Structure 1
Amino acid sequence: MLTIRELKTPLIGPLDLALQAGEAVAISGPSGAGKSLFLRAIADLDESAGHVALDGTKRESIPAPEWRRKVAYVPAESGWWADRVQDHFTETADLSSLLHQVGLADALAWEVSRLSTGERQRLALVRALQTAPQVLLLDEPTSALDPPSVDLVETLLKHQLAANRALLIVTHDPGQPERLGARRLVMDKGQLKAGAGQGAPA
């Protein structure tokens, strides 16, 4: 599905990774290792060199807005540019199920100013899912959540995997890869290596 070969920026790489439909890959590593930069490079938010393709189609052949719909990136801290939550969503009619799954069924009517950091994280995930992406790039999506909210988000992510979406997640939660059934990788000094008990990056 998502193929990455010789991807590099001034601070990371070259990096290779193959991510299949319905597969989760979890990346851990020390702060400053390049994990977030890797996600941003895949999302085409930072300049990079190398080969990135989705279902065999090179990224440069896909218009940037379409690429970002198909390969959705959720940063650790998402931007909020309007006063009301509902103004950050393009298709509010079909969001009720997703909002319910993350425990925020009524959130569209709220003011952004009243949102906690954890609520913003959960809503950012829903915002990414509204475009029905094939791949989710998630940068520490549960870092600000309490255990019950982590359970809600991880259940939602498992549903996405069951729907054949692929998941690439940066996490500092040591138990999260196992809970998501994810392949483990470690990034250090801009390079990827297999996590404990895992094979080398594909």
Structure 2
Amino acid sequence: MDSASHQQQQPSSQRANHAGVELITSPAFRLSDGEEDDEARELLLDVGGLLLAGDEDEATAAAGSGGPPKIRVRGLRRRAAGGGQEILRGVDLDVPRGVVVGVIGPSGSGKSTLLRALNRLWEPAAGAVLLDGDDICCLDVRALRRRVGMLFQQPAMFDGTSRTVAYNVRYGPQLRGKKLTDAEVQNLLSLADLDPAMASKPASELSVGQAQRVALARTLANEPEACPCTQPHLTCFVLLLDEPTSALDPISTQNIEDTLVRLKKTKGLTTVMVSHSVKQIQRIADLVCLLVAGEVVEVLPPSELSNARHPMARRFLELS
């Protein structure tokens, strides 16, 4: 993570405050029965997404239709707490609909800070971030996060008594009074490249790689509210990924990458992914945004990364 966050040591975990949203992270980020409180609910709304719907061919066509960008960022600025150093310095970026945009750059360049502005984990200036042409500052924040979901480095699982994979997938919709059917849960697990039979498996028995894919299924589990699009649901959705495979082994990493590429191709999903791995971005991204010292210095197709002109960008790529 690029931006500093307040951390307080706990017996077996770390607590990090992200713009008022407390995340409890550990090698296996678990939320037991007693921890199922308002903060946990807020976290799961932050990583909320939407339920699958629509025809795959229609989604694919919508993804390649061009038109206005899904997300438009203009003049985005962020300064460290207490009037300190400027983290983002007037970032401009367009995220086309139905593509994977990779964000890379040196540590401390503002990558995670940029990502968290896109669903208001910190509050950008009015007019700095538009979603489908609408200023996100004018949208209800919880409705926004059902249209712009986020997956963090460590997957968050409820794993107390009777807390199964299905319970975790159903959690977000259930907060709004919607009970997903067994078939809907299994469909979401399949989409996340998991065996549907895992629905009844206790969350405490998941590997980190499996938990990350369950978290992805849960991210896709909530329907958007007041979405202006008339296209199949996943074409309305944006998935934000902050180093989602940094704690995974190579096979689990490939499973996540394959899932993201398939979601883009078959469902028209728009994805913005922060990664320190240039090779990973080259494997799955359609566009690469190079962020250096809080500024977007290059936006290129992966095949043209070697042609980056900014000196720091070229240096970073040479050493990656």
- Inter-partner Cα distance in structure 2 for 1:8 and 1:104: 43
- Inter-partner Cα distance in structure 2 for 1:57 and 1:127: 26
Give the Å deviation of 1:125: 1.5
Paired position in structure 2 for 1:188 = 292
Paired position in structure 1 for 2:256 = 153
**TM, length-normalised to structure 2:** 0.56
- Inter-partner Cα distance in structure 1 for 2:211 and 2:113: 21
Paired position in structure 2 for 1:69 = 146
Paired position in structure 2 for 1:172 = 276
Instruction: Give the counterpart of 1:33 among 91, 109, 112.
Output: 109
Q: 1:92 to 1:184 in 2, by over 3 A?
A: farther
Instruction: Give the counterpart of 1:7 among 57, 76, 93.
Output: 76
Contact (CA 8 Å) 2:71, 2:94: kept in 1 or not? yes
Percent of pairs identical after alignment?
31
Give the Å deviation of 1:31: 2.5
How many aligned residue pairs are there? 200
- Inter-partner Cα distance in structure 1 for 2:215 and 2:113: 19
**TM, length-normalised to structure 1:** 0.85
Q: 1:27 to 1:116 in 2, by over 3 A?
A: same
Are 2:219 and 1:139 aligned?
no
Contact (CA 8 Å) 1:102, 1:149: kept in 2 or not? no
Paired position in structure 1 for 2:132 = 55
Contact (CA 8 Å) 1:183, 1:198: kept in 2 or not? no
Give the Å deviation of 1:187: 2.0
- Inter-partner Cα distance in structure 1 for 2:244 and 2:281: 13
Instruction: Give the counterpart of 1:87 among 167, 190, 200.
Output: 167
Q: 1:31 to 1:81 in 2, by over 3 A?
A: farther
Paired position in structure 2 for 1:117 = 208
Paired position in structure 1 for 2:194 = 103
Give the Å deviation of 1:104: 4.6
- Inter-partner Cα distance in structure 2 for 1:29 and 1:104: 35
| Greater gyration radius | 2
Give the Å deviation of 1:49: 2.0
Q: 1:52 to 1:149 in 2, by over 3 A?
A: same
- Inter-partner Cα distance in structure 2 for 1:181 and 1:37: 20
Specify which structure has the bigger relative contact order, considering alpha-carbon pairs within 8 angstroms and separated by 6 or more residues.
1
Q: Which runs of 5+ in 2 are unaligned?
A: 1-69, 80-86, 171-179, 223-233, 311-320
Q: 1:122 to 1:158 in 2, by over 3 A?
A: same
SS of 1:153's partner is helix
- Inter-partner Cα distance in structure 1 for 2:72 and 2:136: 10
1:52-80 CA deviation, whole Å, 9 max, x = no partner? 11111111232111110111111112433
Give the Å deviation of 1:95: 3.0
- Inter-partner Cα distance in structure 1 for 2:308 and 2:199: 41
- Inter-partner Cα distance in structure 1 for 2:118 and 2:244: 17
- Inter-partner Cα distance in structure 1 for 2:219 and 2:278: 24
- Inter-partner Cα distance in structure 2 for 1:161 and 1:52: 22
SS of 1:48's partner is coil
